[in-house]
Amino acid sequence: MINFRKITDKPGSRFKVRYGPDGVHLFNRSSGMNVLIDEFRPPEHLWSQGPRHVSIALTNRCDLSCPQCYAPKDPATLPLSIVRSWITDLDANGSLGVGFGGGEPTLYPFIGELCDFCAGETSLAVTLTTHAHRFSDQLVERLAGSLHFVRVSMDGIGPIYESIRRRSFQGLLDRIRAIQRITAFGVNYGVNSRTVQDLDKAAQLACDLGASQFLLLPEVRAGRASGIDNESMQSLRDWVNTYQGSMHLAISAAAGDGLPVCDPLPNEKELRAFAHIDASGILKRTSFDNSGVEIQKSNVMDAIAELKTRDEEGMK
């Protein structure tokens, strides 16, 4: 019998252990290395109760006004003390990573303190999803050592990007290069009828910039976004199926049908895999859901349990 705790307690080891229906998952947040030991399937009472990854919309504030944005426009912002409490509980219950978004997370007034707390006081991987234009050299320096990954949103390249985001595309590239100085990054590529034509160039650009992932995000019908049309979705599938580049491709879980996706944890689904908390403190299955469970008295694990119960009752 392997003593997994002993493995991770060795000097210099930074692996976190997560138990689940697919086996024992070891994760190193510094390198991003994942190891799955599926020869041993832990009994259900040992499974980690926290979702593998949790995204938190720290604020609904954003200095852009993109036509495809689905984020609520009310001015909600989460208190730092409450977010820290949630993160502490998620860490203790086996979650591996927390992703901060919004709105625009760099507009959150305590973003530096929060990332410092996560990196220094928990074993969670810390990621940001951002439009990147506010990543000044000063902010880059402030967050150095407290981030493990940054996801940069991109919709098309050049003129198409600028017509959607109303910001300089060259300015975006400059900020990506600044982010690259302190942490690994990936490109979140929004796909719709306007941006699908730039897939080849965008993937190559991401590769040239040193991105470690090119995440495809077909536009979802939510908020002001009308959603990707069938023709554009088929063009995306065709592109993925014939792609010969070296960029690591990924796609949102809801859009993987008809694509050659790989899921190393097929039994860890729904709230075991992912949960979202919006800027009003509502726990949801995804950021696109219209309803969820209000987190009462900062107890995030109770909210997760309640949402799981609702799911189970809905399946009966």
Query: What pLDDT, on a 0 to 100 scale, did the predictor assign at position 223?
Result: 66
Residue 284 CA to residue 306 CA, distance in Å, equals 11
> Which residue range forms the structural domain that includes residue 305?
16-314
Give domain status of residue 6, yes or no: no
Query: What pLDDT, on a 0 to 100 scale, did the predictor assign at position 39?
Result: 94
pLDDT digits (tens, 9 = 90+) for 119-172: 999 999 999 999 999 999 999 999 999 999 999 999 999 999 999 999 999 999
Query: What pLDDT, on a 0 to 100 scale, did the predictor assign at position 304?
Result: 96
* Residues of the chain predicted below pLDDT 70: 1-13, 223-224, 314-316
Give domain status of residue 10, yes or no: no
Supply the CATH number for residue 224's domain. Answer: 3.20.20.70
Q: Extract the tokens encoding 87.
A: 């993160």
pLDDT digits (tens, 9 = 90+) for 250-280: 998 878 788 888 889 999 999 999 999 999 9
Tell me how many domains the chain contains. Answer: 1
Query: What pLDDT, on a 0 to 100 scale, did the predictor assign at position 296?
Result: 86
Give domain status of residue 2, yes or no: no
The SS3 call for residue 240 is helix
Give domain status of residue 11, yes or no: no
What is the pairing mode between strands 53-57 and 97-101?
parallel
Contact 305, 272 (CB under 8 A): no
Give domain status of residue 130, yes or no: yes
Contact 66, 155 (CB under 8 A): yes
Specify the pTM: 0.92
